[in-house]
């Protein structure tokens, strides 16, 4: 059997239905065989980095490994997206084709050491030197990508190897690893009992969930434990959807990206903190000040990764295992409440939120121009269909949605890229989400800074179609950097290499064949969103917003500085 055919047979048996990629000369041996596999759709991107971001979005929305491919010349272009997937533990299979390896030291065009590039940002980088090894390598890649701490696996395919024949290839697959989690190890029984004892004795416990809970699909178990012990539940920005944010015990996002003064206060005052599927990174902990390392709170930490449990805080109970199966054991060892009780702590937290929500409600009714971000959040909440997914770039769109847009049901319905936080994620990732959930209304929130990285993918969006609605926040520059420069350094620095000239973004979108809108005032916003969401085609909406250094978003350190300087801010 031809080697490329063997590879495609393996992908088909692993239930791969979409591969995101870009053509190149080193890939043509593979593409020649691909003509016979219409059941594996090749989604052509306009940039190799975008192809990898598409695979990221697809993986998060489908609970299958995302698959992407690129030619040798594009291998370096994929690295930023693969690095994001690695830090965010996104299960992906990353194929790059290459020149014949015996030409590597002869300066053949497009050739370079791909293995050295990928070793630091993947679970493993595998070079195929013998065509007969392709089935074995594919099995290994899916097993690695979907089990333990998930992540991307890189496979390097020299073009001459792809053109070889294989005698009697072993094409069997391992069905356990067609989806993730591939296997679900459970934490040690004695440690589970220690955790239950600590939760039962706590007076001010809090649960903090990261994206690992979404990968494990453990949202039902988290809610059950919270209700057994009456524990408030906070999430990281990437963990939104672990609990419906309308639930009595939800305190929303915590930390420096999306946290409120109230949710962060609950964590700061806790006597027991149960971290689940969370790597206690700088954003979640506001640079390890929430809580301070010497706060005295007792910590239970459950994670699939032995590298993350107890990594940043003194930890009372370490639980290494899958979130869903381990939490099920915690539930089995816990005593259910005999009767409903008054919850003075929960009621007090709710009263604080009610006061804060009144403040938010006033801002969300703003009639000002440019449109206030909270007015946008209100109109989005009121118009978006029930079946939807938000895909959000870092910056102004991320900070306001994570803080104020409340998801109404558990599960993955909002995607962020806050592992490395590179610009240019949302547009390509949303295309991957469309193929994972074609029945959903996709809302893609991008800043004008991010848009400059991936504008070409509007052609891809127009070509593949679907109800994908790109909403661009135009603040005429790199607004997040302007705010950081102004508030952490000096107002003068905010103008250094951060501002754009005037751009007609709707004309760009129309040039790519999209229905485009520009919304100048809040009165137009709801009608425009409702019309766009009702169309079964891609749309583009431009909104003018104030830069972050002029209307400071609710980032804890920024708010404190804005208050001292008298700069307008959202608290």
Tens place of pLDDT per residue across the chain (571 aa): 999 999 999 999 999 999 999 999 999 999 999 999 999 999 999 999 999 999 999 999 999 999 999 999 999 999 999 999 999 999 999 999 999 998 888 889 899 999 999 999 999 999 999 999 999 999 999 999 999 999 999 999 999 999 999 999 999 999 999 999 999 999 999 999 999 999 999 999 999 999 999 999 999 999 999 999 999 999 999 999 999 999 999 999 999 999 999 999 999 999 999 999 999 999 999 999 999 888 899 999 999 999 999 999 999 999 999 999 999 999 999 987 655 566 899 999 999 999 999 999 999 999 999 999 999 999 999 999 999 999 999 999 999 999 999 999 999 999 999 999 999 999 999 999 999 999 999 999 999 999 999 999 999 999 999 999 999 999 999 999 999 999 999 989 999 999 999 999 999 999 999 999 999 999 999 999 999 999 999 999 999 999 999 999 999 999 999 999 999 999 8
In a domain, 557, yes or no: yes
Phi/psi at 206 (5° precision): -145, 145
Assign residue 385 the CATH number of its domain. Answer: 3.40.50.970
pTM of the model as a whole: 0.96
pLDDT in tens, 473-487: 999 999 999 999 999
In a domain, 157, yes or no: yes
In a domain, 51, yes or no: yes
The encoded tokens of residue 267 equal 């964590």
Give the distance, in angstroms, between the CA of residue 337 and the centroid of all CA atoms in the same chain. 35
The tally of domains found in the chain comes to 3
4-26 CB burial, b ≥16 within 10 A, e <16: bbbbbbbbebbebebbbbbebeb
| 217 & 249 share domain | yes
CA–CA gap between residue 462 and residue 540 (Å, rounded): 11
For residue 246, the enclosing domain spans 189-336
In a domain, 407, yes or no: yes
Assign residue 265 the CATH number of its domain. Answer: 3.40.50.1220
DSSP state at residue 231: -
Annotate 60-121 with three-state secondary structure: HHHCCCEEEEECHHHHHHHHHHHHHHHHHCCCEEEEEEECCHHHHHHCCCCCCCHHHHHHHH
Distances from the Cα of 109 to the Cα of 373, 448, 480, angstroms: 49, 35, 39
Q: Are 195 and 317 in contact (CB under 8 A)?
A: yes
In a domain, 381, yes or no: yes
Q: Return the percent helix, strand and coil in the chain, to nearest 5.
A: 45, 15, 40
Q: Which element (helix H / strand E) includes 272?
A: strand 272-276
| 303 & 230 share domain | yes
Q: Which of 10, 253, 18, 266 is nearest to 141 (CA)?
A: 10
In a domain, 343, yes or no: no
| 313 & 405 share domain | no
In a domain, 342, yes or no: no
CA–CA gap between residue 87 and residue 66 (Å, rounded): 15
Q: Are 46 and 118 in contact (CB under 8 A)?
A: no
Q: Which of 196, 192, 273 is nearest to 228 (CA)?
A: 196
In a domain, 358, yes or no: no
| 400 & 467 share domain | yes
Give the distance, in angstroms, between the CA of residue 173 and the centroid of all CA atoms in the same chain. 29
Q: How many CB atoms lie within 10 A of CB 429?
A: 34
């Amino acid at each position: 059997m031809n080697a490329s055919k063997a590879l495609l047979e393996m992908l088909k048996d692993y239930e791969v239905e979409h591969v995101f990629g870009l053509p190149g000369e080193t890939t043509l041996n593979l593409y020649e065989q691909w003509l016979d596999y219409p059941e594996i759709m090749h989604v052509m991107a306009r940039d190799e980095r975008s192809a990898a971001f598409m695979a990221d979005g697809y993986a998060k929305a489908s609970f299958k490994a995302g698959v992407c491919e690129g030619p040798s010349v594009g291998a370096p272009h994929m690295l930023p997206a693969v690095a994001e997937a690695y830090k965010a533990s996104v299960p992906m299979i990353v194929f790059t084709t290459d020149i014949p390896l015996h030409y590597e030291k002869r300066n053949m065009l497009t050739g370079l050491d791909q293995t050295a590039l990928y070793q630091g940002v993947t679970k493993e980088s595998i070079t195929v030197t013998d065509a007969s090894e392709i089935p074995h390598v594919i099995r290994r890649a899916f097993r690695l990508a979907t089990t333990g701490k998930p992540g991307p696996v890189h496979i390097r395919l020299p073009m001459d190897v792809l053109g070889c024949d294989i005698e009697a290839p072993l094409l069997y697959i391992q069905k356990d690893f067609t989806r993730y989690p591939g296997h679900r190890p459970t934490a040690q029984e004695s440690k589970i009992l220690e955790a239950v004892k600590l939760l039962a004795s706590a007076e001010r416990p809090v649960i903090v969930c990261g994206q690992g809970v979404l990968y494990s699909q453990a949202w039902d178990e988290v809610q059950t434990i919270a209700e057994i012990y009456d524990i408030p539940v906070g999430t990281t920005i990437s963990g939104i959807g672990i609990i419906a944010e309308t639930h009595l015990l939800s305190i929303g996002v915590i930390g420096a990206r999306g946290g409120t003064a109230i949710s962060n206060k609950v964590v700061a005052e806790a006597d027991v903190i149960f971290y689940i599927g969370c790597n206690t990174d700088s954003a979640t902990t506001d640079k390890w000040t929430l809580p301070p390392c010497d706060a005295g709170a007792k910590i239970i930490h459950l994670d699939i990764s032995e590298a993350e449990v107890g990594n940043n805080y003194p930890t009372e109970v370490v639980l290494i295992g899958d979130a869903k199966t381990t939490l099920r054991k915690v539930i089995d060892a816990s005593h259910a409440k005999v009767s409903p009780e008054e919850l003075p702590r929960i009621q007090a937290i709710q009263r604080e939120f009610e006061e804060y929500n009144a403040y938010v409600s006033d801002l969300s009714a703003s009639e000002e121009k440019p449109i206030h971000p909270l007015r946008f959040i209100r109109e989005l909440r009121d118009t978006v269909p029930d079946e939807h997914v938000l895909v959000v770039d870092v910056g102004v769109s991320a900070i306001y949605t994570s803080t104020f847009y409340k998801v109404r049901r558990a599960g993955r319905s909002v995607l962020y890229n806050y592992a490395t936080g590179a610009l240019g994620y949302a547009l390509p990732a949303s295309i991957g989400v469309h193929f994972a959930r074609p029945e959903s209304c996709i809302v893609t929130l991008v800043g004008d800074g991010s848009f400059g990285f991936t504008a070409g993918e509007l052609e891809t969006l127009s070509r593949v179609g679907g109800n994908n609605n790109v909403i661009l926040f135009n603040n005429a520059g790199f607004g997040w950097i302007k705010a950081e420069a102004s508030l952490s350094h000096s107002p003068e620095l905010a103008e250094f290499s951060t501002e754009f000239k005037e751009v007609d973004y709707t004309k760009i979108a129309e040039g790519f064949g999209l229905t485009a809108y520009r919304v100048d005032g809040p009165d137009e916003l709801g009608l425009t969103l409702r019309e766009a969401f009702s169309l079964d085609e891609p749309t583009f909406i431009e909104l003018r917003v104030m830069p972050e250094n002029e209307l400071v978003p609710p980032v804890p350190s920024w708010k404190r500085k804005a208050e001292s300087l008298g700069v307008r801010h959202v608290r």
